[in-house]
Amino acid sequence: MPQTSTTTSTTNMNRPEQVTDRASARATASLGRWAGLALSLAGLTGWLGWLSWRFATLEMSIVAVGVLSLELVAVSAALLVTAGLFAGRPRWRRGRRATDADRQLPMLLGEALGLGDISKERTTDPTDPTDPATPSAANLGPDDTGEIAWARRGLRVLGEQRQLDWGAQLDTHNLREAAWSVVALDGLRRLVTVITLVVVLFTGIAPFETPPTNRIAMLAVGIALLSIGHWLLSGGHVRPLARLIWSMASIGAGLGAGVSRSGLPIRWAMTMATLIALNISIALRGMSDRWTHGLDPMNDDARVTAMSVAFGLVAAGGIAMRRMPQPELGHYGATRRLEESSVRRLTIGLTLLVAVVGFVAGLAPAEVLVAAP
């Protein structure tokens, strides 16, 4: 009996400490949530300051209007993700899980928003009409690793929500679903961005005039604050730059039938092709403006901006490829032959080397690279 009394006494002594710990955790989570919202709103304000200048100086050309449209889509996506994360109240992650290396961003975000196991989206049976995920998984080939199914689910969710009234759209569950869908579709948006950037580099048409320093600062600081704000709002699930890397890893996801026709993983092949296209575009623009003059000339500020953005996407794509399963591991019929792996690496390496030469040529002052007569 005394032993039972001692145990009960010890338990009662621990209860206040446990209550204090839980209260402290809730207070910390609440502080992080509101801090994340404040940073996100500040970031959106800075981005809107940039857009106000863009509207005031807009030139009515296809490239200029196209780039502005992409910017409007991007800021709308950021606003929707902010609202969804704030409404979702994700719990803060305590440490990085060992399994995160094999978990794509939509899976982590689905967990944060309480949407269940998103990985089941791809493993559904398209022949089972009772499966609620069947519409998004239907007509997909066996080589989709989830990105295509997630993108199609995102398209379906956003399409359904467009038919709802404003009150229903602002429902907590619908906001969480919409935020997840926007992230799932980042690959499609990134594909359009890359195509537009390649067109700018090849044609030499600047989408806007040289912006003033304060507007550039508004955009840069705004995006940085948004990235940190989303990290806090998501409870650590969406790290800074995570969406950029994910968009390069899933570029073009939502298109195609999910069948690999090259013996290579679809996502790996798409990202590799994107990097090669960007590298060649950078190289040709830099060399043309400095030496060959095979393309229409591009003014210095526009060239530096476009090439810097392209090189940033190449860096993000390189990180994304580093995290993907490599073809030499035997995915989707790859033969693991040494020469195949060597050719792929040589191709990326050579185009990257040429891109670096073009990038340096495009950034360096003309008098450094062109001999005086």
| C-alpha distances out from residue 372 to 288, 362, 366, 367, 369, Å | 18, 18, 10, 7, 9
Over residues 217-234, the pLDDT tens digits come to: 999 999 999 999 999 999
pLDDT at 111 > cutoff 50: yes
Q: What is the mean pLDDT of the chain?
A: 80
pLDDT at 46 > cutoff 90: yes
The answer to whether residues 79 and 206 belong to one domain is yes
In a domain, 11, yes or no: no
Positive or negative, the CA dihedral 248, 249, 250, 256 is positive
In a domain, 247, yes or no: no
The answer to whether residues 167 and 305 belong to one domain is no
The answer to whether residues 178 and 272 belong to one domain is no
CB-based burial of residue 165 (10 Å sphere; 0-12 exposed, 13-18 middle, 19+ buried)?
exposed
pLDDT at 123 > cutoff 50: no
In a domain, 12, yes or no: no
* Distance of alpha carbon 326 from alpha carbon 34, whole angstroms: 40
The answer to whether residues 193 and 325 belong to one domain is no
- Tokens representing 354 are 């040429």
* Distance of alpha carbon 41 from alpha carbon 49, whole angstroms: 12
Q: For position 246, what pLDDT does the model report?
A: 94
In a domain, 7, yes or no: no
Tell me, what amino acid is at 66?
Answer: G
Domain housing 102: 28-241
Provide the pLDDT confidence category of residue 373 given band limits of 50, 70 and 90. very low
Q: How many domains does the chain have?
A: 2
Give the end of a domain, one of 241, 276, 307. 241
In a domain, 55, yes or no: yes
The answer to whether residues 122 and 265 belong to one domain is no
Q: Contact at 8 Å (CB) between 277 and 217?
A: no
In a domain, 8, yes or no: no
The answer to whether residues 231 and 104 belong to one domain is yes
The answer to whether residues 204 and 345 belong to one domain is no
- Tokens representing 70 are 């992409």
User: How many whole angstroms from its chain centre is CA 8?
Assistant: 53
Please tell me the least confidently modeled range out of 98-107, 324-333, 353-362. 324-333
- Tokens representing 318 are 């390189």
The answer to whether residues 326 and 226 belong to one domain is no
The answer to whether residues 34 and 116 belong to one domain is yes
In a domain, 313, yes or no: yes
pLDDT at 279 > cutoff 70: yes
Phi, psi of 255 (to 5 degrees): -100, 155
Q: Which of 294-303, 305-314, 326-335 has the highest mean pLDDT?
A: 305-314
Bridge partners of residue 253, in order along the sequence: 255
Provide the pLDDT confidence category of residue 72 given band limits of 50, 70 and 90. very high
* Distance of alpha carbon 89 from alpha carbon 273, whole angstroms: 38
What mean pLDDT comes out for the span 149-156? 90
- Per the model's pLDDT, the better-predicted residue between 264 and 14 turns out to be 264
Give the end of a domain, one of 241, 272, 305. 241
What mean pLDDT comes out for the span 345-365? 82
The answer to whether residues 323 and 209 belong to one domain is no
In a domain, 14, yes or no: no
The answer to whether residues 278 and 347 belong to one domain is yes
